[in-house]
Amino acid sequence: MVVLMAIAFTLATPWFRRNKLNLPKFLKKLTGFNAFWYSHHLFIIVYTLLIVHGYYLYLTKTWYQKTTWMYVAVPVILYTCERLTRAFRSSIKAVKILKVAVYPGNVLSLHMSKPQGFKYKSGQYMFVNCSAVSQFEWHPFSITSAPGDDYVSVHIRTLGDWTRQLKTVFSEVCQPPAAGKSGLLRAEGDNTSFPKILIDGPYGAPAQDYKKYDVVLLVGLGIGATPMISIVKDIINNMRMEDDSFPGSGLENGNYNNNNNKSKGFKTRKAYFYWVTREQGSFEWFKGIMNEVAEMDEKRVIELHNYCTSVYEEGDARSALITMLQSLHHAKNGVDVVSGTRVKSHFAKPNWRQVYKKIALHHPDTKIGVFYCGAPALTKELRQLASDFSHKTSTKFEFHKENF
């Protein structure tokens, strides 16, 4: 039992689970998420041995005096119920693939039909299973569609063996896109060759509480922008619904009728979205959504800020030429030459202290919800700045994070 548990623990460490070690090729096949997943199912053998070990006690004679089964029964029952629940939920939530796109940076986008009764909040996530890759593995992904959309979408970045195989099986049924379509490969419509997908969810996440705040700061690092995209779309949809319900009382330059919003259970009147990515090609992931938000947000309720960290910061002589070309192109055509969207891109990393300062000046005596999704490296800085400005100004920042 100790040996089996040691194997499972070793393969669960980040070095082996994420293939961070430079191992020989034949050993690499024994690591990765699949190795972590299947090694953890050794618990079945461990529990069996535990029961056998406890059963053959020499100091007791009757079964009810042997208490091992009592301790083992509870977790086994809970685990079995969880498995049966997931199997049942996924079977009644049949989905149909509507559209597939493969983007630069090894990102796969899946648009699926929305199952009847599938209700979720922006910021939540769901588990996805693809039997063509593995019948038993379920992986969590943030939902990028808004609750008001008639479909469900996820954006999946290739970071491990399971996501790599998933991208491969879907790429086989895709073709190069037609003119005017984004992505490296695309497929949509009634395609019977799409692999079967099962979903389970939704499940709660910190970002789903954004509606509690009048003003929100959304920060996405790389693929961590996925829950924020859903929130941005949801804000736009709620604004549109509010304008339809209360003509002339909508959100004008960030101002709104608070009573109307509260009656709808929707408080947010201003959102600042900062998306930081290393590669220029990453802007392709949400190009359509960015343009949609820029077109629909006539009242400038949402501020979109895209940052590409692979370019020298603005003001640096080495980036002066591209900055000049970018400004000219955006002024003439209304499209950013870097991202290919209507949202103008910035270079290098944001000055987070200045970001907090700007928001604090514009929204005194206001509670700001700060939502971050991305690598843990930025968590400490954003949390510390939220604490500092909450103490030094009348604006209160409440920090929420989701790391991957």
What CATH number has the domain bearing residue 124? 2.40.30.10
- Does residue 250 come out as left (phi exceeding 0), alpha (psi in the -120 to 50 range) or beta? beta
Write the DSSP symbol of residue 308. Answer: E
The whole-number average pLDDT for the span 92-100 is 81
Specify the pLDDT at position 391: 92
Report pLDDT digits (tens) over 316-337.
555 555 666 656 655 666 565 5
Question: The tokens of 1 are what?
Answer: 């039992």
Q: What b/e readout covers 26-43, taking b as 16+ CB neighbours within 10 angstroms?
A: eeeeebbbbbbbebeebb
Say yes or no: 159 and 304 in one domain: no
Q: How many CB atoms lie within 10 A of CB 145?
A: 21
Please give the Cα distance from 99 to 109 (Å, whole number): 8
Collapsed DSSP state (helix, strand, coil) of residue 371: strand
Report pLDDT digits (tens) over 291-301.
777 777 667 78
Say yes or no: 84 and 102 in one domain: no
Specify the pLDDT at position 258: 41
Say yes or no: 236 and 254 in one domain: yes
- Which of 141, 251, 278 lies closest to 198, judged by CA? 141
Specify the pLDDT at position 261: 43
| Phi and psi, residue 352, nearest 5° | -65, -30
Report pLDDT digits (tens) over 19-78.
666 776 666 666 766 677 777 777 778 877 777 776 666 555 565 666 666 777 788 888
Collapsed DSSP state (helix, strand, coil) of residue 150: coil
Specify the pLDDT at position 286: 80
The whole-number average pLDDT for the span 255-269 is 51
Say yes or no: 39 and 70 in one domain: yes
DSSP alpha helices (H): ranges in 41-180? 43-55, 68-92, 161-171
Cβ atoms of 137 and 162 closer than 8 Å: yes
Cβ atoms of 211 and 400 closer than 8 Å: no
pLDDT at 256 over 70: no
Specify the pLDDT at position 252: 38
- Looking at the structure of the chain, the number of domains it has is 3
Residue located via tokens 């992986």 = 139
Say yes or no: 257 and 390 in one domain: yes
From 203, 222, 255, give the residue that closes a domain: 203
> Could you tell me which residues are beta bridge partners of residue 152?
112
99-113, 173-187, 229-243: which range is least confident on average? 173-187
Please give the Cα distance from 269 to 261 (Å, whole number): 9
What CATH number has the domain bearing residue 286? 3.40.50.80
From 168, 203, 238, give the residue that closes a domain: 203
Q: Which domain holds residue 342?
A: 206-403
The identity of residue 61, as a single letter, is: K
Collapsed DSSP state (helix, strand, coil) of residue 373: strand
- Which of 194, 233, 205, 184 lies closest to 111, judged by CA? 194
Say yes or no: 82 and 178 in one domain: no
Specify the pLDDT at position 315: 55
- Which of 101, 49, 105, 102 lies closest to 282, judged by CA? 105
Say yes or no: 231 and 358 in one domain: yes
pLDDT at 95 over 70: yes
Say yes or no: 389 and 273 in one domain: yes
Say yes or no: 371 and 243 in one domain: yes
Name residues whose C-beta falls within 8 Å of residue 133's C-beta, 6 or more positions apart in sequence.
Answer: 162, 165, 166, 169, 195
Name residues whose C-beta falls within 8 Å of residue 89's C-beta, 6 or more positions apart in sequence.
Answer: 200
Please give the Cα distance from 165 to 254 (Å, whole number): 44
What percentage of the chain exceeds 90 in pLDDT?
Answer: 19
From 70, 89, 108, give the residue that closes a domain: 89
Say yes or no: 343 and 358 in one domain: yes
Say yes or no: 368 and 232 in one domain: yes
Say yes or no: 147 and 111 in one domain: yes
